[in-house]
């Protein structure tokens, strides 16, 4: 399992309180754009994971069982050994509908949840507890781009913060929390709660560059241990972004981590050790 990140209790309470107090504003142009990007990118990720484009495609099976798995380990075993994910579609939860994500069977909400289960609970083996879900948010943040990351923070970190601090499921909202609040939670440092969404860009969450680069290296090492193939070169995405790429058991050739400079990408590449193979999957 990828290194587990422990959520800061004080900070998670601030995030939970901010989410509960925040209004749902599905008509807000920025909120709509963020959720549209999140839905689109989640759909494309799921297509990579489940179609013939993948080397080991995962089959998603919709069920009426509310809890198909006894625990996260059972879900992970199903993904790793059987390439099957069972899930209750959002359409069957008629009393809990998201104001912006498509709730039809196989729609945007199902795509987001399926990608989360396959990647974080299936491949990486994170549990369903507070630290597992917090770690999942930090990993999946890197899979998305632009405003989608902002909406993802609401769907993963904010909603799960409400659950573990109150014991109650959070209602679905179309809202974006303060980037400063999310950044403080990402870093694990306490700050004064703020419910207002300001005009700062969501990429303020990607400060603390050295810590981020360390996390990316750990993520890449886990992929190597899970039999991914890391290419020996780095590629230029744009003048300010360099990426490490390679092949994973599903999805084929993909971008695995992005860095601000070529030197940072090469340094991370040089830190990777040989894969530590375990017993082959049945």
Return the residue matching tokens 């440092």.
Answer: 189
Q: Of the candidates 195, 151, 197, which has an alpha carbon nearest to the alpha carbon of residue 174?
A: 151
Residue 150's pLDDT is what? 95
Residue 268's pLDDT is what? 74
Residue 22 DSSP code: S
Q: List, in sequence order, every beta strand (DSSP E) within 14-157.
A: 59-62, 84-87
Residue 54's pLDDT is what? 78
83 half-sphere exposure, CB direction, 13 A CA radius: 13
Per-domain residue ranges of the chain? 9-206, 209-270
Residue 94's pLDDT is what? 82
One digit per residue, the tens of pLDDT, for the chain of length 282 reads 556 788 999 999 999 999 999 999 999 999 999 999 999 999 999 999 998 877 789 999 999 999 999 999 999 999 999 999 999 999 998 888 999 999 999 999 999 999 999 999 998 899 999 999 999 999 899 889 889 999 999 999 999 999 999 999 999 999 999 998 998 898 873 333 334 344 444 444 444 455 555 555 655 555 555 455 666 667 676 666 666 666 654 444 555 566 677 888 787 777 665 443 333 322
Alpha-carbon distance of 179 to 153, in angstroms, equals 10
Residue 162 DSSP code: H
Alpha-carbon distance of 75 to 123, in angstroms, equals 10
pTM of the model: 0.70
Residues 6+ apart with CB under 8 A from 66: 88
Alpha-carbon distance of 58 to 78, in angstroms, equals 10
């Amino acid at each position: 399992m990828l290194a587990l990140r422990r959520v800061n209790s004080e900070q998670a309470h601030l995030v939970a309180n901010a989410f509960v107090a925040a209004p749902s504003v599905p008509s807000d142009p920025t909120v709509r754009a963020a959720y549209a990007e999140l839905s689109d990118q989640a759909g494309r990720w799921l297509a990579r994971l489940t179609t013939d484009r993948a080397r080991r495609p995962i089959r998603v099976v919709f069920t009426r069982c509310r809890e198909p798995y006894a625990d996260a380990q059972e879900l992970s075993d199903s993904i790793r050994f059987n390439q099957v994910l069972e899930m209750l579609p959002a359409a069957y939860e008629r009393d809990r509908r998201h104001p912006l994500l498509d709730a039809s069977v196989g729609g945007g909400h199902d795509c987001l949840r399926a990608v989360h289960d396959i990647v974080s609970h299936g491949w990486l083996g994170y549990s369903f507890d507070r630290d597992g879900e917090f770690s999942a948010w930090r990993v999946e943040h890197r899979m998305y781009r632009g405003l989608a990351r902002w909406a993802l923070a609401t769907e993963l970190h904010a909603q799960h913060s409400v659950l573990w601090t109150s014991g109650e499921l959070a209602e679905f909202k179309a809202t974006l929390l303060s980037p400063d609040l999310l950044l403080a939670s990402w870093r694990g440092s306490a700050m004064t709660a703020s419910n207002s969404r300001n005009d700062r860009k969501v990429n303020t969450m990607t400060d603390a560059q050295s810590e981020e680069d360390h996390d990316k290296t750990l993520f890449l090492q886990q992929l190597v241990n899970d039999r991914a193939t890391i290419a020996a070169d780095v590629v230029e995405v744009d003048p300010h972004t360099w990426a490490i790429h390679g092949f994973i058991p599903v999805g084929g050739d993909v971008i695995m981590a992005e860095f601000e400079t070529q030197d940072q990408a090469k340094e991370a590449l040089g830190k990777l050790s040989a894969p530590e193979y375990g017993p082959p999957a049945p």
